[in-house]
């Protein structure tokens, strides 16, 4: 049963990071999830930043991303979709890199969320992050 749902769309550019965080924060506070705000903002911000930085960086295409926040029973689901060229989620690992080389944001996302799923589609990519209330 869906208790609350909100969606928004933004242009995939660095200036969209702040408005996306504000919208997510507002949703969390409105629906009783303020105590998980920091973890959720960090995890979703990392995914959105990767969409902006990597999804469109090597292409001449500009695009958009969509965020859907949904509270079902005791879980928060955050879906981040984009219209970037399809990527290869299986190639996103940074386990072989030294920490100083970067590329460890997805490890952070996986540590903050209960479950993380990345899917490449013909018309873009989708990330679904699930969070527990505590």
Alpha carbons 42 and 129: distance in angstroms, whole number: 12
Alpha carbons 51 and 71: distance in angstroms, whole number: 23
pLDDT at 53: 87
pLDDT at 33: 96
DSSP 8-state class, residue 123: T
Using one digit for the tens of pLDDT, what is the confidence trace for 28-70? 999 999 999 999 999 999 999 999 988 877 666 789 999 999 9
pTM given for the model: 0.89
Helix H, strand E, coil C: the string for 15-59 is: HHHHHHHHHHHHHHHHCCCHHHHHHHHHHHHHHHHHHHHHHCCCC
Using one digit for the tens of pLDDT, what is the confidence trace for 65-87? 999 999 998 899 999 999 998 88
Which CATH code is given to the segment(s) 2-131?
A: 3.30.565.10
pLDDT at 94: 56
**Domain boundaries defined on the chain:** 2-131
The candidate with the shortest Cα–Cα distance to 69, out of 102, 134, 20, is 20
Using one digit for the tens of pLDDT, what is the confidence trace for 88-131? 766 655 555 555 545 678 889 999 999 999 999 999 999 999 99
């Amino acid at each position: 049963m869906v208790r609350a749902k909100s969606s928004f769309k933004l242009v995939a550019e660095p200036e969209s990071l702040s408005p996306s965080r504000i919208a997510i924060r507002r949703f969390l506070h409105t629906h009783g999830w303020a105590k998980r705000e920091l973890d959720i903002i960090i995890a979703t911000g990392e995914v959105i930043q990767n969409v902006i930085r990597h999804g469109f960086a090597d292409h001449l295409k500009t695009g958009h991303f969509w965020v859907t926040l949904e509270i079902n029973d005791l879980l928060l689901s955050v879906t981040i979709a984009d219209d970037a060229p399809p990527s290869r989620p299986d190639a996103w690992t940074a386990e072989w890199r030294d920490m100083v080389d970067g590329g460890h944001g997805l490890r952070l996302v996986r540590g903050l969320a209960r479950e993380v799923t990345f899917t490449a589609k013909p018309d873009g990519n989708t990330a679904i992050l699930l969070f527990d209330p505590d």
